[in-house]
């Protein structure tokens, strides 16, 4: 039996802007841990977001990395989109592909200012919904849609896995902003499905004793631990599960801001429109101006 070993000075450890995976073989469970610092600053710097939107987008980016990191393949992508009609937050979108993360929020600033410093999810979105789309390496695409209910986006994502995929999932997310800089971090733990023919699929048993044990341990993680810059991601897994027979750590993607905009990209898109519609897009100078909401850049296309 392989025993769990604590991180040592000679063991490379992961702290920020890298995704780390782990499995608990004896409990049929897997997890992801992430902490965003520099990447978070890069994404948020594209717009002058007020504090409530900074917190919301930070949570969304962490969720994007945690869920996107479950996919395999350089071309696999996860997109998270929260939307509502008449809500203060009109659109929140982020995606993840091979370590590249990006995100953007569109909101009504005047209405937001009336809510105070810590508005609830319901106050921001009203009767909104969350769409989670996974696109595999082979371009297979599947999507689940759940109501934006509960206290956080993380709760809505837990509902997605429970309702759409029937996989018991626990997600914890934390964020902060202050003199020490902005940071967001999170933990995702799941019970793995059992696909052997003729056997009960573990992921349909929400009360499976192995999952109940893992969920209790994972649920003890605190916001302070997730946001402790001196505590490695490996250290988080060790603290939670050090009594398990084995914890297998799997290094994940190094994260970066991943806006994929370029003049060539937009020229390809514009070329799909009929010529008469392209002419309507042109300004007085004959140039088509395209704004990228993710990185706040404007591209002048003389096509």
Q: Tell whether 221 and 203 lie within a shared domain.
A: yes
Smallest CA-to-CA distance from 24 within 211, 180, 161, 151 is with 211
Question: Quick check: helix, strand or coil at residue 251?
Answer: strand
Residue 7 located in a structural domain: no
Residue 9 located in a structural domain: no
Residue 36 located in a structural domain: yes
Q: Tell whether 252 and 293 lie within a shared domain.
A: no
Q: Tell whether 294 and 192 lie within a shared domain.
A: no
Q: Tell whether 174 and 271 lie within a shared domain.
A: no
Q: Tell whether 154 and 268 lie within a shared domain.
A: no
pLDDT of residue 38: 94
The residue to which tokens 């106050």 are assigned: 123
Residue 162 located in a structural domain: yes
HSE at residue 26, side-chain half, CA atoms within 13 A, is 13
Residue 13 located in a structural domain: no
Q: Tell whether 240 and 113 lie within a shared domain.
A: yes
Strand order in the sheet with 248-254: 169-176, 183-191, 29-36, 18-24, 248-254
Q: Tell whether 76 and 192 lie within a shared domain.
A: yes
5 pLDDT higher than 80? no
Query: What value does the mean pLDDT of the chain take?
Result: 86
pLDDT of residue 168: 92
pLDDT of residue 85: 78
pLDDT of residue 206: 61
Strand order in the sheet with 256-257: 141-147, 129-135, 77-83, 89-97, 100-107, 256-257
Point out which residues pair with 133 in neighbouring strands: 79, 143
Looking at the 3D structure of the chain, how many domains does it have? 2
Q: Which two tokens stand for residue 222?
A: 């605190």
For range 259-282, the mean pLDDT: 76
In angstroms, the Cα distances linking 81 to 41, 58, 124 are: 21, 14, 14
Q: Tell whether 150 and 290 lie within a shared domain.
A: no
For residue range 22-39, what is the model confidence (pLDDT) as tens digits? 999 999 999 999 999 999
Q: Tell whether 204 and 253 lie within a shared domain.
A: yes
Q: Tell whether 143 and 64 lie within a shared domain.
A: yes
Point out which residues pair with 24 in neighbouring strands: 29
174-178, 199-203, 290-294 — most confident range: 174-178
Residue 145 located in a structural domain: yes
Q: Tell whether 24 and 84 lie within a shared domain.
A: yes
Q: Tell whether 292 and 235 lie within a shared domain.
A: no
CATH of the domain at 168: 3.55.30.10
Residue 125 · residue 89 · CB < 8 Å: yes
Q: What is the pTM of this model?
A: 0.85
Residue 8 located in a structural domain: no
For range 133-137, the mean pLDDT: 89
pLDDT of residue 261: 67
Q: What are phi and psi of 216, to 5 degrees?
A: -65, -45
Using the CB atoms, write b or e for 83-115: b if 16+ within 10 Å. bbeebbbbebbbbbbbbbbbbbbebeeeebeee
Q: Which residues form the domain of 293?
A: 263-301
Residue 12 located in a structural domain: no
């Amino acid at each position: 039996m392989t025993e769990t070993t604590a991180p040592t000075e000679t063991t490379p450890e992961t702290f920020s802007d890298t995704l780390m995976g782990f499995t608990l073989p004896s409990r049929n469970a897997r997890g992801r841990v992430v902490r965003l610092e520099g990447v978070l600053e890069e994404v948020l710097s594209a717009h002058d977001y007020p504090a409530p939107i900074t917190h919301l987008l930070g949570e969304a980016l962490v969720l994007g990395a945690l869920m996107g990191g479950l996919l395999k393949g350089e071309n696999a992508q996860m997109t998270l989109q929260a939307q509502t009609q008449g809500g203060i937050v009109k659109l929140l979108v982020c995606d993840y592909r091979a370590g590249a993360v990006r995100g953007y929020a569109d909101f009504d600033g005047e209405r937001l200012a009336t809510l105070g410093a810590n508005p609830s999810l319901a106050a921001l979105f009203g009767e909104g919904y969350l769409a989670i789309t996974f696109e595999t390496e082979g371009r297979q695409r599947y999507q689940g849609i759940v109501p934006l209910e509960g206290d956080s986006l993380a709760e809505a994502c837990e509902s997605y896995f429970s309702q759409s995929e029937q996989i018991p999932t626990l997600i914890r997310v934390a964020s902060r902003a202050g003199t020490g800089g902005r940071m967001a971090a999170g933990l995702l733990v799941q019970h793995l499905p059992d696909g052997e023919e003729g056997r009960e699929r573990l992921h349909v048993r929400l009360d499976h004793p192995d999952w109940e044990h893992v969920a209790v341990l994972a649920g003890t993680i605190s916001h302070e631990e997730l946001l402790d810059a001196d505590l490695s991601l490996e250290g988080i897994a060790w603290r939670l599960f050090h009594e398990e027979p084995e914890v297998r750590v799997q290094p994940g993607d190094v994260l970066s801001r991943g806006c994929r905009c370029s003049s060539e990209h937009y020229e390809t898109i514009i070329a799909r429109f009929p010529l008469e519609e392209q002419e309507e897009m042109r300004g007085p100078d004959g140039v088509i101006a395209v704004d990228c909401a993710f990185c706040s850049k404007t591209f002048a296309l003389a096509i």
